[in-house]
Copies of this chain bind each other. A is one copy, B any other.
Amino acid sequence: MTTVALIGAGNLATHLYKAFRNTEDIEVVQVYSRSELGSVSDDMNNRCIHDLQRLTTADIYIIAVSDDAIAEVSKQFPFTDRLVVHTSGSMPMEVIERTNKAGVFYPLQSFSKEKEVDFQQIPLCIEAENEGDLKVLEKLGRAISPKVFHINSAQRKVIHLSAVFVNNFTNHLYHIGSEICKENNIPFEILHPLIEETAKKIQTMNPKEAQTGPARRSDQKTINSQLQQLSNKSQKEIYELMTRSIIALYGREKL
């Protein structure tokens, strides 16, 4: 049995708690939360402490707090030489205070409070200062997902950057699409199947091959007409820049 203490009680910590509880091999012995827990399960509540000095013995301490708070929290632990990991995509492993053995346990997914999560589908990026600890994290990861990857801090930084493009920026394009629909009294739902298909398509084709549309065809007539349709300055700028970037990529390549 591997014992885990969770530091933090937000979105990610709550989803991890549920995932670990459903395994045979992992036991969450404590959950640290600064404030009272909101609507979580009784057994999560029962394990809750509000003082880091009360942290008990565990095989792995998982810090699931905001990026800015990781370093500070890791300084306050009342023990040394234990395995302490954070769960952040953008912070290096070294942000963890050197009095303990550092590692990273980064689930590559975007979590919302309301939405149930299937960890079986989530890539887990792990890293540790030494081989033994990496094995411990590998075992922890495999208990909840078959997709465990050894990713160092430099690689994780690249993945996080890439995720900003494919997740945050993509979501902003969805927002713009929904605004354009709303202004014209068209239900945005009509675009849901297209959005889902766009995301699914690249699982079997690479995105460069999957591209279609006016910019891909260098169809200047449609491009000009769509630019005229846009009255919002920021939307217009994004349309122009993305179109220019697509045209530059395909250039005069034959369709």
What residues make up the interface of A, taking CB atoms closer than 8 Å to B?
Answer: 67, 90, 108-110, 112, 114-115, 121-123, 125, 147, 149, 151, 154-155, 157-178, 180-181, 184, 186, 188, 190-208, 210-216, 219, 222, 225-226, 229-230, 234-235, 237-239, 241-242, 244-246, 248-249
Cα-based distance from A122 to B154 in the complex (angstroms): 42
Give A31 Cβ to nearest chain B Cβ, in Å.
22
- Please measure, in the bound complex, the distance between the C-alpha atom of A230 and the C-alpha atom of B202, giving whole angstroms: 23
Query: A61: shortest Cβ distance to chain B, in Å?
Result: 24
A129 to chain B, nearest CB (A): 21
* B234→A248 contact, CB < 8 A: yes
Residue of B nearest to A117 (CB): B197
In the complex the two chains form, what is the Cα distance from A88 to B122 in whole Å?
38
Asked if B167 and A180 sit within 8 Å, CB to CB, the answer is no
Contacts of A165 in B (CB 8 A): 173-174, 176-177, 180, 235, 238-239
Point out the residue from B158, B177, B199 that lies within 8 Å of A181, measured CB to CB. Answer: B158
Interface of A is mostly: helix
Q: Can you sample 7 A-B contacts with CB below 8 Å?
A: A110-B212, A161-B180, A162-B178, A163-B191, A165-B180, A170-B173, A178-B207
State the Cβ distance, A227 to closest chain B Cβ, in Å: 10
B242 touches A108 (CB 8 A): no
Q: Is A110 a contact of B198 with CB atoms below 8 Å? A: yes
What is the minimal beta-carbon distance from A178 to any residue of chain B, in angstroms?
Answer: 6
- By the criterion CB–CB under 8 Å, are A159 and B204 in contact? no
Contact residues in B for A244 (Cβ distance below 8 Å): 234
A109 to chain B: which residues have CB within 8 Å? 193-194, 197
* Contact A162/B175 with A168-B216, A168-B246, A238-B241 known, Cβ cut-off 8 Å: no
